[in-house]
Structures are given as C-alpha cells and as structure tokens.
C-alpha cells in the first residue's frame, strides 16, 4: 500500500457482490489480498447474513461472549450471557451476584412495555383547537393506529393512549407534540411504533390547519422501567481487611457522591451500562437505544443523576436501580442471528419484561462491584489484574506464557503492551 490516502468515493458499492467488493477495495488500495482473506466471514454469520443485516458489508467483527454467573433473581437462577470487550466486567457482576445470593439475590419489578411514538404538529393557527380536536378523536385515532399492527392488538398490545404536549419556547415557533402510547409486548418496538405513528399522522393532520413533520418513537421510554434491589447484611460484606460495615458505609458515601455530582454520576452510570449494554449486545438488542434512554432518564430531574443508589439500613447495605429498558425477546436480529438465539436459550427468559429485570439486576451488580472496589482497595488491583491478561495476549504471549507475563506486569505496575513485549522477550530468552 502506498502512502497516499485512497479515495472513499466508491459508487454503487452497495450493489456489488462480496467478491466485487473485495476486488474494488483491493484496486482502490484500501485492502490487501491478505486483508481480504482475513476478513472473509468464516463463523456462524456468513457474508450474506451480514449483508442482509447492514449495508456495504465486508465482514464480521467478533466480540468475546462470556457468562455472568451466580445470579439469583426473584428466586430463579439465571446464567447471563454478556458480550463485551472490557476485562473485569463479567468477573465483577459474578462476584456481586455470588455475594448477594445468601440474602436472596435480587428482587425486581417491571412497569410494562409502554413506549411513546411522537408526532410533531407545526404551523397551526389555534393550538387549543388542535389539541381539543385530537383528544376528542382519541378513540378513533387509536383504532386507526391499531389497524397498522393487528397482530399487536391480538396479543393485548398496540396503541393504548394519546396525549398532547404544547411546546412553546420563545425563540422557536410553537409546536404540538402528540404522544401515541403503545404497548409493544415482547418487542423492543421501534419499527411497529414508527409504522403506527406514520399511519395515524395522516388522520391527525386532518384535524388541524397545521401540518405534520416528524413521526418517530422516543427513546426516552420512561414508562418502560425496570427496578432491581438487593439487601445484603454487613456480615456478608467484609473484604480485604475492611469490615462489612466499612464496606457498606463506603458504598453509601460513594453513592452520595454520585447523587450530588454529575461528573461522578456519569462514571457511576458508565459502570452500570458496562453490565446492561453487554447483555443488550449478547441478546441482540439495540444498545444505543438503551444507552440514550438510560442517560436521558438519569437527567430527567434537570441534574444528571445516578441510575442506582445505595444506603445503609439496619445493619444492611441496600441498593436499588431504576432504569428504562426498551429491550425485546422477539424481532430485530433475534429472528435470524444464530448466536443471539443461543444466548436466548441460555438466558431462559420468557418475556421482554423478564429480560429487562435481569438486565437491571446485572446493572446493579456491576455498580456495586465498582463501588466496593473504589471505596476500599481502589479499582486497579481487581480490574488491572484482569486487564493485564489482555495486555499480555496483545503483546503476543502464548497461552502457556500469559500467567508469567501477567505476574511480571503486576509486579512492576506498568500494565502496557510495550512493557509486556519486553517481559515476553526476556522470558523467552530466559532473562527473567
């Protein structure tokens, strides 16, 4: 490959076959022949599946899939598949799930799968009249929306309510936002919500002298919320020379830090999403939707806040997470991705609500693991000792060399790939 940047203008790439794409990329000096051989999908997802899932496909990017263990949720055991690139996340949730088991594990709740489709009305001359007309026609509009998804109505879901919000921000023209509230049952629901929102919009337009602009779901799904709690006695919490009470009070103070400081709350919630997003990815769910919903929910009071909080009560540490989770057990890649289907067989959840409740418990466990480490010995020992394994592998250590490289990396506390390469070189030349 020469040093000149190859052009990114490749017309009609999306219409090319797999081989035509590889040839075009080699000709454009974007890929080499070796790159192409490396990229050729060889796993369960072949090129055709990838190409049906996304556009301009050239290959498949794999992520490690691991198991979060020890989870007892509402009296049932769950083995939780998690797809994630970050070391220590799965160890952390398994660690806390084990700790929580003797006191009953996690107790959860789910609000139901109600989502919002937004329809934006602009340019009306009389907002009161438009609002009144929409609300007076609610039953008919709901029936129209439901005509677009009869299967959902048969399942007990579909459009359930219509609300209106007049938004008047001085510097912009006023707009009326119609909220179409839809029960999506076991689906995430984006496609069906958008279908219903677009379908009913034409009828809404007839009720106003304004016009309809956007018709799209909201990812702030604050009516689709999962809650998980755990309550662990001090006697279970002693760790690495810290008493159970010290650990509990440290976690409580860490929680309070997040409650008053958005800088800390953001990192606190990042830890929670370590757990939740990993389950989302493994289970074929849209983690961008879940992430955006979670962060918007965290900011709903006007100040960005923690999704999970902890406090000390009667000799126990109590934790609670409340998080919106638009996740499904049907639809999207769940229909055709073989690994995702296997994940669902491992998870053994029977509904979107059950999946959301498991995810909430995983998020709470991940949060407690991080806070427990942060409020005691610090994050680095547990996290870095596991991170060191991936650093050693990146440096080229073979399976039977990794433990030795990790040992030396931890000893010198310089967990970097360059250092690992030097250690490996010295080990192979028997200088260590």
Ligand X SMILES: NC(=O)C1=CN([C@@H]2O[C@H](COP(=O)(O)OP(=O)(O)OC[C@H]3O[C@@H](n4cnc5c(N)ncnc54)[C@H](OP(=O)(O)O)[C@@H]3O)[C@@H](O)[C@H]2O)C=CC1
Taking the C-alpha atoms of residue 153 and residue 14, their distance in angstroms, rounded to an integer, is 37
Q: Which does 219 bind (CB under 5 to 8 A by kind): ligand X, ligand HMG, none?
A: ligand X
Q: Binding to ligand HMG by residue 247, rule CB under 6 A?
A: no
The neighbour count for residue 166, using CB atoms within 10 Å, is 14
289 near ligand X, judged by CB under 6 A: yes
Is residue 379 involved in binding ligand HMG (CB under 6 A)?
yes
Stretch near ligand HMG under the rule CB under 6 A, chosen from 39-47, 85-93, 124-132, 407-415 = 85-93
Q: Which does 57 bind (CB under 5 to 8 A by kind): ligand X, ligand HMG, none?
A: none
Q: Return phi, psi of residue 122, to 5°.
A: -125, 155
Q: What span, in angstroms and rounded, lies between the C-alpha atoms of 119 and 344?
A: 34
Q: Which of 286, 320, 322, 354 is catalytic?
A: 286
- Asked about 286 being catalytic, the answer comes back as yes
> Does the active-site annotation cover 268?
no
Which of 306, 331, 353, 363 forms a contact with ligand X (CB under 6 A)?
Answer: 331
Q: Which residues in 151-180 contact ligand X (CB under 6 A)?
A: 151-152, 155
Whether 86 is a known active-site residue: answer: yes
CB of 255 vs ligand HMG, minimal distance in Å = 10
User: Of ligand HMG, ligand X, none, which one sits near residue 189, judging by CB under 5 to 8 A according to partner kind?
Assistant: ligand X
- Burial class for 171, CB neighbours closer than 10 Å (0-12, 13-18, 19+): exposed
Are the CB atoms for 305 and 117 separated by under 8 Å?
no
Burial class (CB in 10 A: 0-12, 13-18, 19+), 414: middle
Q: Annotate each residue in 383-402 with x if it binds ligand HMG (CB under 6 A) or - if it does not, as one string.
A: x--x----------------
Residue 179 binds: one of ligand X, ligand HMG, none (C-beta under 5 to 8 A by kind)? none
188 counts as binding ligand X under rule CB under 6 A? yes
* 258-297 positions binding ligand HMG, by CB under 6 A: 267-268, 270-271, 274
Residue 212 C-beta: closest distance to ligand X, Å: 18
CA–chain centroid gap for 63, Å, is 15
Asked if 185 interacts with ligand X (CB under 6 A), we say yes
- Which residue in 35, 74, 86, 246 is the catalytic one? 86
Nearest distance, CB of residue 282 and ligand HMG, angstroms: 16
Q: How far is the CB of 110 from ligand X (least distance, A)?
A: 14
Query: Out of ligand X, ligand HMG, none, which partner does residue 21 contact, by CB within 5 to 8 A per kind?
Result: none
Contact between residue 120 and residue 227 where contact means Cβ atoms under 8 Å apart: no
Tell me the residue number closest to ligand X, measured at CB. 151
Q: Is 226 in the site for ligand X (CB under 6 A)?
A: no
Please tell me whether residue 319 binds ligand X under the rule CB under 6 A. no
Q: Please give the size of the binding site for ligand HMG, defined by CB under 6 A.
A: 25
**Tokens read off for 167:** 């938004």
332 binds ligand X (CB under 6 A): yes
How many angstroms separate the CA atoms of 297 and 280, rounded?
18
Site for ligand X in 121-150 (CB under 6 A): 149
Of residues 124 through 153, those in contact with ligand HMG by CB under 6 A are none
Distance from the Cα of residue 296 to its chain's centroid: 13
Which of these, 2, 94, 14, 48, lies nearest to 362 by C-alpha position? 94
Residue 191 interacting partner from ligand HMG, ligand X, none (CB closer than 5 to 8 Å by kind): ligand X
Active site residue 377: no
d(CA 306, CA 295): 9
Using the rule CB under 6 A, is 119 a contact of ligand X?
no
Could you give the residue numbers annotated as active site?
86, 270, 286, 383
Q: Which residues bind ligand X (CB under 6 A)?
A: 149, 151-152, 155, 184-192, 217, 219, 286, 289, 328, 330-332
Q: Which residues bind ligand HMG (CB under 6 A)?
A: 69-70, 86, 88-92, 94-95, 98, 267-268, 270-271, 274, 369-371, 373-374, 379, 382-383, 386
């Amino acid at each position: 490959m020469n040093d000149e940047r190859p052009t990114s203008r490749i017309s009609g790439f999306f219409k090319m076959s797999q081989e035509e794409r590889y040839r075009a990329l080699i000709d454009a000096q974007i890929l080499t022949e070796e790159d192409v051989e490396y990229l050729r999908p060889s796993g369960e997802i072949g090129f055709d599946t990838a190409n049906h899932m996304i556009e301009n496909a050239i290959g498949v990017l794999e992520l490690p899939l691991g198991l979060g263990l020890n989870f007892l949720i509402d009296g049932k055991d769950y083995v939780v598949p998690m797809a994630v690139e970050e070391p220590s996340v799965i160890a952390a949730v398994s660690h806390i799930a084990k700790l929580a088991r003797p006191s009953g594990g996690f107790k959860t709740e789910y609000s139901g799968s109600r989502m919002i489709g937004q329809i934006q009305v602009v340019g009306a001359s009389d907002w009161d009249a438009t609002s009144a007309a929409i609300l007076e026609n609610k039953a008919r509009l709901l029936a129209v929306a439901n005509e677009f998804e009869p299967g959902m109505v048969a399942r007990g879901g579909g459009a359930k309510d219509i609300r209106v919000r007049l938004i008047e921000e001085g510097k912009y023209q006023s707009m009326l936002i119609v909220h179409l509230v839809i029960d999506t049952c076991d689906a995430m629901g984006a496609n069906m919500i958008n279908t219903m929102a677009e379908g009913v919009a034409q009828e809404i337009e007839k009720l106003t002298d304004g016009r309809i602009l956007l018709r799209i779901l909201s990812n702030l799904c604050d009516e689709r919320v999962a809650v998980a709690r755990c309550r662990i006695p001090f006697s279970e919490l002693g760790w690495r020379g810290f008493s159970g009470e010290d650990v509990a009070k440290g976690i409580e103070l860490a929680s309070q830090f997040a409650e008053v400081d958005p800088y800390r709350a953001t990192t606190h919630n990042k830890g929670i999403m370590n757990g939740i997003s990993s389950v989302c990815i493994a289970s074929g769910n849209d983690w961008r939707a879940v992430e955006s919903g979670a962060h918007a929910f965290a900011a709903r009071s006007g100040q960005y806040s923690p999704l999970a909080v902890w406090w000390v009560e009667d000799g126990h540490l109590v934790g609670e997470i409340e998080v919106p989770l638009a996740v499904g057990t049907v639809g999207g890649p769940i229909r055709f991705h073989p690994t995702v289907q296997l994940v669902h067989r491992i998870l053994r959840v029977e509904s979107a609500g059950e999946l959301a409740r498991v995810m909430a418990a995983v998020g709470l466990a991940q949060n407690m693991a991080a806070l427990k480490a942060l409020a005691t010995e610090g994050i680095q020992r547990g996290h870095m000792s596991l991170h060191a394994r991936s650093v050693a592998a990146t440096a080229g250590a073979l399976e039977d060399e990794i433990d030795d490289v990790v040992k030396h990396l931890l000893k010198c506390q310089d967990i970097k790939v360059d250092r690992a390469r030097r250690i490996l070189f010295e080990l192979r030349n028997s200088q260590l």
